[in-house]
Amino acid sequence: MERFTSIASHDLQEPMRTIGNMVHLIGKKYSENFDDQGKKMLDYVSTATKRMNILIKGLLDFSRIGNKRVIQKVDCNELVETIVLDFEAALKASNGKVKIDNLPVVEGNPVELRMLFQNLISNGLKFRKSDSSPVLEVLAIESETHVEFCVKDNGIGIDSKDYEKIFYIFQRLHHTEQYEGTGLGLAYCRKIVELHGGKIWIDSINGVGSSFYFTLSKSKRS
């Protein structure tokens, strides 16, 4: 599946580049001869081409996760604090908050773990209820060998029938006009957690909020 994704997305890039270039040229050279409906249609093609490019790039990124398996100690407190700083503008705009528990040091790939926390936090802020500010919590429960993390939000929630579906590529529960996205974020998360030998799952109440859980190995080196 991963080889297929990698090959397919490589091969798709070439014709998409041609379509993108041609649409751009048609717009530049001939759009004066188009009536309003024609211009609108050209606009749709251009928007769809851009989205297709984003999706193909997302697929390639997905297939590349795990290529460089550098495993080291990762301080999750430090990691999550720096990620939250990147969301400062979004938090200010929505009057949101991210509470960070005392998080442990784990064994893992720092780039992938950043991507994992970043996607979950980003989703928690994005899928918020329109009438309240987002409040997120990043928690950790430690056992002797493992840590169970939880990224909890007070957002729109997910129906239990969709718990499995959302971790597959391109599976989304909303239109892009409503909430923008590619439907790849949680597929990245699942791949990253599984590469680390852990599990990821969700518990949610529709209209109340969601908790995304995942497990990682604790650092054995001190």
Of 46-54, 70-78, 140-148, 152-160, which segment contacts ligand ADP by CB under 6 A? 152-160
Which DSSP string corresponds to 45-100? Answer: HHHHHHHHHHHHHHHHHHHHTTSS---EEEEHHHHHHHHHHHTHHHHHHHT-EEEE
As measured in angstroms, the least distance from the Cβ of 28 to ligand ADP is 32
Provide the pairing of β-strand 135-142 with 97-100. parallel
Footprint on residues 186-205 left by ligand ADP (CB under 6 A): 186-187
Of 115, 80, 93, 86, the residue nearest 196 (C-alpha)? 115
Backbone angles phi, psi at 136, to 5 degrees: -115, 150
* Piece in contact with ligand ADP (CB under 6 A), picked from 36-44, 172-180, 192-200, 214-222: 172-180
Choices 33-41, 69-77, 149-157, 192-200 (CB under 6 A): range interacting with ligand ADP: 149-157
What's the min distance (Å) between Cβ of 180 and ligand ADP? 7
Question: In angstroms, rounded to a whole number, what is the distance separating the alpha carbons of residues 97 and 136?
Answer: 6
HEC letters along 101-166 = CCCCEEEECHHHHHHHHHHHHHHHHHCCCCCCCCEEEEEEEECCCEEEEEEECCCCCCCHHHCCHH
Task: Tell me the closest approach of the beta carbon of residue 49 to ligand ADP, in angstroms.
Answer: 19
Report the residue number, 23 or 152, with the smaller CB distance to ligand ADP: 152
Helix (H, G, I), strand (E, B), or coil: what is residue 216? strand
Q: How far apart are CA 94 and CA 60, in angstroms?
A: 32
Quick one: 110 or 157, whose CB is closer to ligand ADP?
Answer: 157
Amino acid occupying residue 122:
S
**In the bound complex, what is the minimum distance in angstroms from residue 51's beta carbon to ligand ADP?**
12
Contacts with ligand ADP, 102-141, as mask; x by CB under 6 A? -----------------x---xx--x--------------
CB of 72 to ligand ADP, least distance (A): 26
27 lines the binding site for ligand ADP (CB under 6 A): no
In the complex, the smallest distance separating the C-beta of residue 207 from ligand ADP, rounded to whole angstroms, is 10
What is the total count of residues that contact ligand ADP (CB under 6 A)?
A: 22
Residue with tokens 């720096």: 82
Q: How many helices and strands (H and E) does the chain possess?
A: 6, 7
Binds ligand ADP by CB under 6 A, chosen from 183, 199, 201, 219: 183
The residues binding ligand ADP (CB under 6 A) are 119, 123-124, 127, 153, 155-158, 166, 171-174, 181-187, 210
